[in-house]
């Protein structure tokens, strides 16, 4: 039994303790184990998409899983969006050529390839592939296209999706692992491509620019009074010149219309095909877990397959025999007794007390997630002491991701940070 007081979170807790006449034993929900070794070695798995809020370690998780897959004999490519420089270097991603490069993994029976997404280049490539050279040139030089392809919210997600489609279509790899862009919301990865293709193919942009295009009058038949007001406001607010740029862009793009939506839809469908799995990554923080929750709900609504939750950067203690309160008390006693090494031992006890408190908070957040999503399998990954920036660091993380569930020093299963309390 742990004497550590469970800290209260600012956000309202899960279900309130029930007050029955017969006191029912209160047991915290038990998360299902997540078998990532099976996921990445299974030949049926063709695509793994790592999603989650920004800053939770999606890139390192993707790279570590790809390494583990290559070492298990698969031919794998990892598509990263924005890796840390040192990690990118260790993966040989020094040249930004928007193509996968082989990473040398000594002794691995499989193959590891890695690439970093260049969104502008991917967009330019689509334009070039789908229009005549003159048209392409017009589009690439249009100021609106330049803004759209480099700063449009959602371009990165759309292009990540596009690149995934290309990699899959090439049939060069038997496993593709995708890291998703550092969006505000994990849902952006699913929403942005559709939003963007809807926009590019949409009637609104055609109506808006209709008067400026050849045969503009024909388009006027659809124009309602409300739309005229809208059009006037838009040009008033944004200035007429922007509308002229958009108009020129749209007419140059005319030959490609339909293409954008079709492509986005095709890739979206790819994500629903058997063989594709989503992996949600979160840190044990309220924000990150809230994002993870939204994402899990959304996947289930879209009938997209969820492999589970990676709870990254946890702080499991090396022993759970001593609670935080007792460790703090012991630190005082040790100091009082004095003698050689007393300060060091007291320091170590305080480190342990803090670790227990932190772990209790993390477990509590994990429990709250599992209460809401009991069907989601969980794997915790302890925080490394420093940054992961080489193959050795990735291998340590890969072991934590794919190792057996109960092989931790304290015997606490890897679904958890602290052992389940017996009631």
Partner 1 sequence: MSPDPFPVRCHVVTGKGGTGKTTVAAALALALAADGRSVLLIETEGRQGIAQLFDTPPLPYEERRVAVTRGGGEVKALAIDIEEALLEYLDMFYNLKRAGRALRKMGAIDFATTIAPGLRDVLVTGKVKESVTRRRDGHRVYDAVVVDAPPTGRITRFLNVTGEMAGLARSGPIKTQSDGVMAVLKSPQTAVHLVTLLEDMPVQETADAIAELSGAGLPVGSVIVNMATEPMLPEDCLARAAEGGLTAAELAPALAAGHVHDGTALAEALATEATEHARRWAAQDELRDEVEALGRPTVELPLLPGPIDLGALFELAGRLEDHLRTEVAA
Residues 64, 310: Cα–Cα separation, whole Å: 12
Tell me the window of 33-41, 129-137, 150-158, 163-171 that interacts with partner 1 (CB under 8 A).
Answer: 150-158
Q: How far is the CB of 287 from partner 1 (least distance, A)?
A: 6
Among 166, 350, 396, 403, binds partner 1 (CB under 8 A): 350
Residue among 35 and 399 whose Cβ is closer to partner 1: 399
Contact mark string toward partner 1, 320..339, x via CB under 8 A: -xx-------x--xxxxxxx
By CB under 8 A, the residues from 226 to 245 that bind partner 1 are: 226-227, 229-230, 233-242, 245
By CB under 8 A, the residues from 370 to 409 that bind partner 1 are: 383, 385-387, 389, 409
Q: Is 45 a binder of partner 1 (CB under 8 A)?
A: no
Tell me the window of 64-72, 182-190, 273-281, 366-374 that interacts with partner 1 (CB under 8 A).
Answer: 182-190
Q: Is 343 a binder of partner 1 (CB under 8 A)?
A: yes
Among 30, 152, 275, 396, binds partner 1 (CB under 8 A): 152
Radius of gyration of the chain (CA): 26
Q: Is 204 a binder of partner 1 (CB under 8 A)?
A: yes
Q: Is 349 a binder of partner 1 (CB under 8 A)?
A: yes
User: How big is the site for partner 1, counted in residues (CB under 8 A)?
Assistant: 85
Q: How far is the CB of 194 from partner 1 (least distance, A)?
A: 13
Residue among 31 and 205 whose Cβ is closer to partner 1: 205
Q: How far is the CB of 43 from partner 1 (least distance, A)?
A: 34
Among 72, 84, 128, 212, binds partner 1 (CB under 8 A): 84
Please check whether residue 284 is in contact with residue 327, taking contact to mean a CB–CB distance below 8 angstroms.
no
Q: How far is the CB of 311 from partner 1 (least distance, A)?
A: 14
């Amino acid at each position: 039994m742990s004497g550590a007081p469970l800290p209260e979170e600012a956000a309202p807790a899960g279900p309130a303790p029930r007050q029955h006449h017969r006191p029912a034993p209160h047991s915290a929900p038990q998360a299902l184990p997540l078998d990532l070794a099976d996921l990445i070695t299974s030949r049926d798995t063709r695509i793994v998409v790592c999603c989650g809020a920004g800053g939770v370690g999606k890139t390192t998780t993707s790279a570590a899983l790809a390494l583990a897959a290559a070492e298990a004999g698969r031919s794998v490519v990892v598509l990263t969006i924005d890796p840390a420089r040192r990690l990118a270097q260790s993966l040989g991603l020094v040249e930004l050529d928007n193509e996968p490069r082989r990473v040398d993994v000594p002794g691995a029976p499989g193959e590891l390839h890695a690439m970093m997404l260049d969104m502008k280049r991917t967009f330019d490539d689509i334009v070039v592939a789908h229009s005549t050279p003159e048209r392409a040139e017009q589009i690439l030089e249009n100021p609106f296209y330049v803004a759209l392809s480099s700063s449009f919210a959602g371009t990165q997600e759309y292009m990540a999706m596009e690149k995934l489609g290309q990699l899959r279509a090439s049939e060069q790899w038997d496993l593709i692992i995708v890291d998703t862009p550092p969006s505000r919301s994990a849902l952006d990865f699913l929403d942005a491509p559709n939003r963007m293709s809807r926009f590019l193919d949409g009637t609104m942009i055609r109506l808006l620019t209709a008067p400026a295009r050849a045969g503009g009058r024909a388009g006027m038949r659809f124009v309602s009074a409300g739309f005229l007001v809208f059009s006037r406001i838009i040009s008033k607010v944004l200035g007429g010149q922007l509308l002229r740029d958009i108009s020129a862009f749209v007419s140059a793009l005319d030959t490609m219309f339909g293409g954008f939506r079709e492509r986005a839809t095709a890739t979206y469908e790819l994500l629903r095909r058997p063989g594709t799995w989503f992996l949600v990554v979160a840190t044990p923080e309220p924000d990150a877990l809230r994002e993870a929750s939204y994402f899990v709900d959304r996947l289930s609504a879209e009938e997209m397959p969820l492999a589970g939750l990676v709870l990254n950067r946890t702080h499991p203690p090396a022993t759970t025999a001593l609670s935080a309160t007792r460790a703090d008390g012991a630190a005082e006693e040790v100091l009082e007794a004095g003698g050689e090494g007393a300060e060091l031992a007291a320091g170590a006890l305080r480190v342990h007390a803090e670790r227990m408190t932190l772990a209790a908070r993390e477990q509590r957040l994990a429990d709250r997630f599992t209460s809401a999503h009991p069907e989601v399998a969980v794997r915790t990954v302890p925080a490394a002491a420093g940054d992961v920036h080489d193959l050795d660091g990735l291998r340590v993380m890969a072991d934590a991701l794919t190792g057996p569930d109960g092989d931790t020093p304290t015997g606490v299963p890897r679904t958890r940070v602290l052992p389940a309390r017996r009631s």
